[in-house]
């Protein structure tokens, strides 16, 4: 089984979600939970952006010992100096330095030629190598970059001393097949690529961030970047809990695993949702409120007979105590009777049949029937426990 490193950027790209603003104490609390979850790398912030960010990265670097801590820097000395100021306390200081490579970014944002972009990237890696034992270099907007040029710049930054090469889909534009092909192309055309780790960093603008990340793994990526709950710039980043659980459940297919303690997944999701104020949609994979809830009578009946009929992930795997049978208009007699028994009512089949008619009538007026609704129904129908 190949081990895939997970690089969590909840505190950097995740904090770039519109409306999210975490203070130092909150960032530290999240970082400690990410360490407990077993993240390999935690990107704690972007030290050059503000004093607060520098301080937060510094605190996290001093505190977290079981995950590697990193911070982001543009390809300028000032950013790299700020990152060193924050990260020098880390057990294994790691820099994440980036520069845009696509024609759109070169022409309109950087106003640099191809050669100037290469020399800026190489100089930044060489400068950082004086301080940092581990350097990750990212080609911002890599997926809209000419492939031969991407290969050329990647080869040069590896030669300059980069240890991890990240291929971000900055604008969430690529498809899984195309993303995989970029990794294959680089592996076949870049000298020195076998000695470094290739990393994937996907945004979700077209809803393909997790699929693209998994495709990268199939094509040789050794590190996946993302956030918990998939929060992040615009439509967000790849949700790391989804990547990790997909690898776990489909290990037969991917033949790869992460080092996450999956039982800490739900706790991490809840904490991040509470502190960022970003609610998790009910139907979100792995951590949504409905991820382990069954509503239809056919599904409820199946799950009550054998869980795996409709449940491919055991709730316990990700730290959710139990699945749930939501009683509503699609529910059947089996789930209805089962819930009454859980509430302590032992009722004859004849009475259940009578009550079930009343229950169905109630579902015409109410979407979800609570335990209190059921108890009221029993009182109305004069059934005692």
Binding-site annotation, residues for Mn(2+) = 13, 201, 203, 237
Smallest separation, CB 98 to ligand KIV (Å): 4
- Which residues are CB-contacts of 191 (< 8 A; sequence separation ≥ 6)? 155, 158, 159
66: nearest Cα among 100, 97, 98, 91: 91
User: How far is residue 114 from each of residues 121, 129, 144, 276, measured CA to CA in Å?
Assistant: 11, 23, 14, 39
Smallest separation, CB 50 to ligand KIV (Å): 16
Residues β-bridged to residue 165: 137, 198
- Contact by Cβ (8 Å): 210, 243: yes
Q: Which of residues 101-140 bind ligand KIV (CB under 6 A)?
A: 138, 140
Q: Nearest 5°: CA angle at 164, between 172 and 240? A: 45
- Note whether 225 binds Zn ion by CB under 5 A: no
**CA–CA gap between residue 193 and residue 286 (Å, rounded):** 34
Tell me the window of 162-170, 177-185, 338-346, 364-372 that interacts with ligand KIV (CB under 6 A).
162-170
Phi/psi-derived region of residue 279, left when phi > 0, alpha when psi is between -120 and 50, beta in every other case: beta
Question: Could you tell me how many residues of this chain bind ligand KIV (CB under 6 A)?
Answer: 10
- Note whether 79 binds ligand KIV by CB under 6 A: no
- Note whether 13 binds ligand KIV by CB under 6 A: yes
Site string for ligand KIV, 173-212 (x = CB under 6 A): ----------------------------x-x---------
**Closer to ligand KIV at the Cβ: 203 or 337?**
203
Q: Which of residues 4-63 bind Zn ion (CB under 5 A)?
A: 13
Smallest separation, CB 12 to Zn ion (Å): 8
End-to-end CA distance of the chain: 53
**Residue list for the binding site:** 13, 201, 203, 237
59 binds, among ligand KIV, Zn ion, none (CB under 5 to 8 A by kind): none
109: nearest Cα among 119, 118, 121, 99: 99
Q: What does the binding site for Zn ion look like in residue numbers (CB under 5 A)? A: 13
Per CB under 6 A, residues contacting ligand KIV are: 13, 72, 98, 138, 140, 166, 168, 170, 201, 203
């Amino acid at each position: 089984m190949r081990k895939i490193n997970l690089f969590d950027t909840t505190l950097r790209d995740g904090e770039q979600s519109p409306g999210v603003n975490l203070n130092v104490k909150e960032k530290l609390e999240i970082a400690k939970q990410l360490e407990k979850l077993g993240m390999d790398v935690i990107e704690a912030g972007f030290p050059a952006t503000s004093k607060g960010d520098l301080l937060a990265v510094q605190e996290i670097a001093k505190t977290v010992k079981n995950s590697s801590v990193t911070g982001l820097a543009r390809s300028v000395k000032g950013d790299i100096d700020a990152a060193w100021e924050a990260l020098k306390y880390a057990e294994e200081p790691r820099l994440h330095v980036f520069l845009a490579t696509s024609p759109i970014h070169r022409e309109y944002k950087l106003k640099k030629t191809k050669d100037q972009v290469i020399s800026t990237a190489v100089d930044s890696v060489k400068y950082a190598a004086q301080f940092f034992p581990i350097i990750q270099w990212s080609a911002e907007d890599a997926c809209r970059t000419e492939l031969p040029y991407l290969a050329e710049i990647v080869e040069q930054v590896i030669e300059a001393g980069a240890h991890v090469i990240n291929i971000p889909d900055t604008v969430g534009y690529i498809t899984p097949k195309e993303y995989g092909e970029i990794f294959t192309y680089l592996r076949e055309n870049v000298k020195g690529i076998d000695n470094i780790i290739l990393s994937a960093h996907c945004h979700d603008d077209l809803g393909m961030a997790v699929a693209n990340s998994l495709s990268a793994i199939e094509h040789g990526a050794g590190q996946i970047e993302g956030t918990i709950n998939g929060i992040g710039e615009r439509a967000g980043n790849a949700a790391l809990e989804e990547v990790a659980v997909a690898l776990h459940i489909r290990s037969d297919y991917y033949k790869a695993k992460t080092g996450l303690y999956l039982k800490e997944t739900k706790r991490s999701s809840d904490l991040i949702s509470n502190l960022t104020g970003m609610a998790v949609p009910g139907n979100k994979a792995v951590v949504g409120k409905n991820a382990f809830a069954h509503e239809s009578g056919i599904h409820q009946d199946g799950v009550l007979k054998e869980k795996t009929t409709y449940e491919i992930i055991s709730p316990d795997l990700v730290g959710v105590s139990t699945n749930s049978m939501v009683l509503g208009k699609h529910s059947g007699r089996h789930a209805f009777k089962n819930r009454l028994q859980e509430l302590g009512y032992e009722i004859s089949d004849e009475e259940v049949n009578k009550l079930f008619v009343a229950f169905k009538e109630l579902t015409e007026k109410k979407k979800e029937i609570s335990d209190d609704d059921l108890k009221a129904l029993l009182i109305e129908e004069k059934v005692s426990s």
